[in-house]
A and B are shown apart, each in its own frame.
Chain A
Amino acid sequence: MRKAKKLRYAWICAISLIILLTWSCASVKDAPQQYEVNVKKLNANEIQSISNWPINPYIEPGSIIRGKIDEFVVIRIEFKIEREMLISIFGDLKDNDGKYIPIYYSEEFLTYWDQFKGSNDRNSTQNFIKKQNLIKQTCIPGSQFKLRPGQYIYYLVFIGPYPIKKPARGRIDISTSFGEYDSILIDIE
């Protein structure tokens, strides 16, 4: 009798534990995902599709005589955010000689384009303003920035003297104020 009682208690405990574990796992699965990130290095066609040519800041400036002066590596980063959070982005890209290729966040990227303002006629001025606004709207604003709930597409730009010696390798590390962490390898052949 006493043995049977013990067995019953053991069964109750085991079943309770299973229920508890199941509920625990289920609750993790059902918890709203706070953050999702997709990272992709863009090819030339994808870069051109960002915007019309005259206002697209992600196409390298060039010159008739010297051709391309710098080379851009453009990374598309898509965020899906459920709760307001702080995002930290760090990148490290080195060419085949181990030379560091820096990131140009929004402010540096605007300064970069300032030197190519070019003509002062009305049409050129308007296109330049549109190019600047597109940078403000789509370029990664800084190494740390806050995002409210929603879906966002940003571009991260590395700029090196043309041509960047291939293969260039590096990675992008993205972390959030909620502890999520992603490290994405970049391999440019």
Chain B
Amino acid sequence: MKKLIVLLLTIAMVGAVYAEEAPAPVLKWSGLLNTGFQYDNGTDSLYLYGQNAGKASRLRLNADYTNGDFGVHFRLQTNDATTTAFSITHAVVWGNLFNNMATFKAGLLNDAAWATPYNSFGSLDGKTGVQIQVKPIKGLNVGVFMPLDTTKLVPAGNVPKDMTFAGKYSISGIADVVAGLNLGVAPVTTEVYGSVNVTAIENLTAIVEADLTDISDIANTLALDEYASYAMGNLAVGAYLEQVFGSPFGWTIAPEVSYTIDKAEVGGSFTIASGSKWSIDPYATYTLNEKSTVKGYASYDDTSVFTFGVSLLFNF
């Protein structure tokens, strides 16, 4: 009892001292440029190539205004930085309510709270609508996303039927579990997805993901993905596997290895897939300035196409 009183008094005193000062409003600007070049002997040509944008360079400008528990996020992006063809890819108003027990986001979203970590199944990045996240207990985030179909492909009356219900539960020191259901109204397909990301063992990454689309259709497709990697000091070994139960059945196996020396990482993977497809993909990356990297990569595949390139990723 005495100890409990001491603890409560301590918490009360410390709490009073640390009653958080309201942070001042903050406007942050940031951006990204992903560019580079690539050569392949299939076309025998050297061309501009960004790993995120294909045969182009991606330029991204972000603005984040935060005022306490509310904020606005904007992103302008072009996938061809040689033009001025920018488009708005994020335009979000967000707010944390009830001492962060709930969060709402509205607009052209940037959210991945309920997305699977590897393949981003269930990501709301780039989707238009309203999302409500509820966090009733520590580690649990559940909620609903209601799309607002700006393309008018879904009749207005059917929009509520196109909602997504999803959630994530982070069991501290064990795993993160994600599950979601996108009800789907034609032409959007019904989708169920989920993942387990094991966090129990330091240096081990182990993820299993599943995505089932077109549930109501006999021709539905189930994709299962597994990724595991174990780091032993600077050396990491792992493998990515995928099985697609559809028509036809497909599979992929891709063992990988990487070695890190300070800011440099060298590695590679060997991918073999159904249909006698295979490729060898070595790479080397160098971190220039924390989040800006230069990556050199090459690839040789079963069609005898040899590709090599350099990719530059600058955060600013």
Which of A's residues lie within 8 Å of B, judged by CB? 52-54, 59-69, 88, 90-92, 100, 102, 114-116, 118-126, 129-130, 132-133, 136-138, 141-142, 145, 173, 175-179, 181
Contact = CB atoms under 8 A, between A and B. Distances in A.
Given A88-B11, A126-B229, A175-B10, A54 B138 contact: no
A120 B3 CA distance: 51
Contacts of A181: 6, 10
Contacts, number: 137
Given A52-B231, A53-B260, A129 B207 contact: yes
Contact of A115 (B62, B176, B227): B62
A175 B23 contact: no
Given A123-B267, A175-B14, 8 more contacts: A62-B291, A64-B292, A67-B289, A92-B17, A123-B295, A142-B138, A175-B10, A179-B4
B52 A102 contact: no
A131 to B, nearest CB: 10
A50 B264 CA distance: 16
Contact of A102 (B23, B285, B287): B23
B283 A123 contact: yes
A63 B10 contact: no
Interface residues of B, number: 62
A118 B51 CA distance: 11
A65 B316 contact: yes
Contacts of B79: none
B154 interface: no
A119 B293 CA distance: 10
Interface of B: 2-4, 6-7, 10-11, 14-15, 17-18, 20-21, 23, 30, 32, 34, 51-52, 62, 64, 112, 117-118, 138, 170, 172-173, 176, 197, 199, 202, 205, 207, 227, 229, 231, 234, 238, 240, 258, 260, 262-263, 265, 267, 269, 283, 285, 287-293, 295, 311, 313-316
Contacts of B18: 90-92
25 contacts: A52-B231, A54-B260, A54-B285, A63-B290, A63-B316, A64-B315, A90-B18, A115-B30, A115-B62, A115-B64, A118-B291, A119-B293, A119-B311, A124-B313, A126-B205, A126-B227, A126-B229, A129-B117, A129-B207, A136-B170, A136-B172, A141-B172, A142-B138, A145-B172, A179-B4
Contacts of A52: 231, 234, 260, 265
Q: Which of A64, A69, A116 counts the most chain B CB atoms within 10 A?
A: A64
Contact of A63 (B14, B34, B311, B314): B314
A181 B14 CA distance: 11
B316 A66 contact: yes
Given A118-B291, A121-B51, A136 B285 contact: no
Nearest to A113: B291
Nearest to A69: B30
A54 B265 contact: yes
B3 A179 contact: yes
Contact of B34 (A53, A90, A119, A123): A119
Contacts of B64: 115
The 7 lowest CB-CB distance pairs between A and B, nearest first, are A179-B3, A62-B290, A52-B260, A63-B316, A65-B316, A61-B291, A179-B6
Contact of A132 (B117, B265, B285): B117
Given A54-B287, A129-B207, A63 B292 contact: yes
A122 B255 CA distance: 13
B289 A64 contact: yes
Contacts of B295: 121, 123
A175 B229 contact: no
Contacts of B176: 136
Contacts of A68: 290
B290 A60 contact: yes
Contact of B52 (A54, A88, A121): A121
Contact of B316 (A64, A145, A178): A64
A142 B311 CA distance: 38
Nearest to A68: B290
A118 B315 contact: yes
Nearest to A135: B199
